């Protein structure tokens, strides 16, 4: 499909209710509207996302957010060529809200509905604003995911390595919670770390000396918890955050060096993409930038707004799938919600990192 496509994207997988309108023409992206409504106030008292509260907030905000995006784009629903919405993975209540909202709009407008894997949205997010042709190496780091993937093309992903327990974002959030730093945890830890000494505490770097790209952050989190229990002053807390963040940077940078050394496309321009909410952390970005330079690669990261959950990346994934003719049966209206949805399903089923579970492979 070579004509310009106008796509409405909807994202509700966690605690952001988002809608975006995007125009896609021969790989060029024009973002017409990009609305993100957070639920920080609702979840702050609990220092974490409460699934039931998130689902109710999405139900209240989804149609209003879509209407706001369409108004900001200045177009009517009959100008749409398709509607894309996150179908998983994520908190099932929120995913259901976005999925049903997207299906309703698509059916009313008489256009195809494109169910999108939230992780594919992150994987494609640098293509919103940068020249990032396939293939490229991807480090996906977020609250629920931490993995290296070879992005060969649209819908073609190969898992190279993953965390065997906590994701990086989860570790940040749990450290913030046990230290009483508030919600969201990642930015709170980063802010306090800026005032601390990264060498004050010698926290472990799990699996750093083990070959391969598997990672682990549960032990690091436990080590921080033991030290934080006796922290009395703001200075001590700052040193703990800085030392914790430094350990994360060291692990991600070393694993990235290994991944880049093994990733050979035969092209002069080796691309290393970091995406997901944790990609907004400036210290981590700097560490990955150094690792990329050492291996002759170019680090590409989305703008900070598109690192965290957003609907622009969902709209882009939907547009690329529609342009490539990768739209499911009944125009996607038969698609179901999926709390778990690995990008590399073959690897997840044959060699799952976390194991199975009654709902399928977790990672």
Reading the chain (363 residues) residue by residue, the pLDDT tens digits are 678 999 999 999 999 999 999 999 998 999 999 999 999 889 988 888 999 999 999 999 999 999 999 999 999 999 999 999 999 999 999 999 999 999 999 999 999 999 999 999 999 999 999 899 999 999 999 888 899 999 999 999 999 999 999 999 999 999 999 899 988 899 999 999 999 999 999 999 999 999 999 999 999 999 999 999 888 899 999 999 999 999 999 999 999 999 999 998 777 789 999 999 999 999 999 999 999 999 999 999 999 899 999 999 999 999 999 999 988 655 588 899 999 999 988 788 777 765 444 444 444
Q: Is the distance from CB of 118 to CB of 314 less than 8 angstroms?
A: yes
Preceding omega of 184 cis (within 30 degrees of 0): yes
Q: Where are the domains of the chain?
A: 5-125+309-343, 133-301
Question: What is the dihedral angle through the alpha carbons of 238, 195, 184, 87, rounded to the nearest 10 degrees?
Answer: -110
Look at residue 238 in the predicted model and tell me its pLDDT.
97
- What is 5-125+309-343's CATH number? 3.30.420.40
Look at residue 333 in the predicted model and tell me its pLDDT.
86
- For 133-301, which CATH class? alpha beta
Look at residue 363 in the predicted model and tell me its pLDDT.
44
Sequence-distant (6+) residues with CB within 8 A of 179 are 228, 231, 237, 240, 241
Look at residue 361 in the predicted model and tell me its pLDDT.
42
Q: Is the distance from CB of 7 to CB of 322 less than 8 angstroms?
A: yes
Preceding omega of 135 cis (within 30 degrees of 0): yes
d(CA 259, CA 245): 21
Preceding omega of 89 cis (within 30 degrees of 0): yes
Q: Is the distance from CB of 94 to CB of 87 less than 8 angstroms?
A: no
User: In a 3-state reduction of DSSP, which class is residue 249?
Assistant: helix
Sequence-distant (6+) residues with CB within 8 A of 191 are none
What φ, ψ does residue 327 adopt, rounded to 5°? -115, 130
| pTM (2 d.p.) | 0.92
Task: Report strand pairing: 82-88 vs 113-117.
Answer: parallel
Report CA-CA distances (Å) from 280 to 15, 64, 124, 141, 285: 17, 27, 16, 10, 7
Q: Is the distance from CB of 256 to CB of 139 less than 8 angstroms?
A: yes
CA angle centred on 14, ends 61 and 353, rounded to 5°? 160
Look at residue 293 in the predicted model and tell me its pLDDT.
96
d(CA 16, CA 27): 27
Look at residue 45 in the predicted model and tell me its pLDDT.
87
DSSP one-letter code for 77: G
Look at residue 360 in the predicted model and tell me its pLDDT.
44
What φ, ψ does residue 156 adopt, rounded to 5°? -120, 100
First and final C-alpha spacing in the chain = 33
């Amino acid at each position: 499909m070579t004509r310009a496509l106008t796509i409405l994207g909807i994202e509700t997988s966690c605690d952001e209710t988002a809608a975006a309108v995007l125009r896609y023409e021969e790989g060029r992206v024009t973002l017409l509207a990009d609305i993100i409504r957070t639920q920080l106030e609702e979840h702050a008292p609990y220092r974490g996302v409460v699934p039931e509260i998130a689902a109710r907030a999405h139900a209240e905000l989804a149609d209003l957010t879509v209407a706001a995006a369409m108004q900001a784009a200045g177009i009517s629903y009959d100008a749409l060529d398709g509607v894309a919405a996150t179908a998983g993975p994520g908190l099932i209540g929120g995913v259901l809200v976005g999925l049903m909202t997207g299906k309703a709009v698509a059916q009313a407008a008489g256009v195809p509905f494109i169910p999108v894997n939230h992780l594919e949205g992150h994987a494609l997010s640098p293509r919103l604003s940068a020249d990032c042709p396939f293939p490229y190496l991807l480090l996906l780091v977020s609250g629920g995911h931490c993995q290296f993937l070879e992005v060969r093309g649209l819908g073609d992903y190969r898992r190279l390595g993953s965390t065997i327990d906590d994701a990086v974002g989860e570790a940040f959030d749990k450290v913030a919670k046990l230290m009483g730093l508030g919600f969201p945890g990642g930015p709170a830890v980063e802010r306090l770390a800026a005032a601390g000494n990264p060498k004050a505490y010698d926290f472990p770097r799990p699996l750093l000396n083990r070959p391969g790209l598997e990672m682990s952050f549960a032990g690091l989190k436990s080590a921080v918890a033991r030290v934080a229990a006796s922290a009395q002053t703001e200075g001590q807390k700052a040193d703990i955050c800085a030392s914790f963040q430094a350990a994360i940077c060291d692990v991600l940078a070393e694993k990235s060096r290994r991944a880049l050394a093994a990733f050979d496309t035969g092209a002069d321009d080796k691309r290393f993409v970091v995406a997901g909410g944790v990609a907004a952390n400036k210290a981590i970005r700097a560490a990955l930038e150094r690792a990329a330079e050492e291996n002759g690669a170019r680090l590409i990261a989305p703008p900070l707004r598109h690192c965290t959950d957003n609907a622009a990346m969902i709209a882009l994934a939907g547009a690329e799938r529609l342009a490539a003719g990768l739209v499911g049966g009944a125009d996607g209206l038969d698609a179901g919600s999926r709390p778990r949805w690995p990008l590399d399903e073959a690897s997840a089923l044959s060699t799952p990192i976390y194991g199975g579970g009654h709902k399928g492979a977790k990672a």
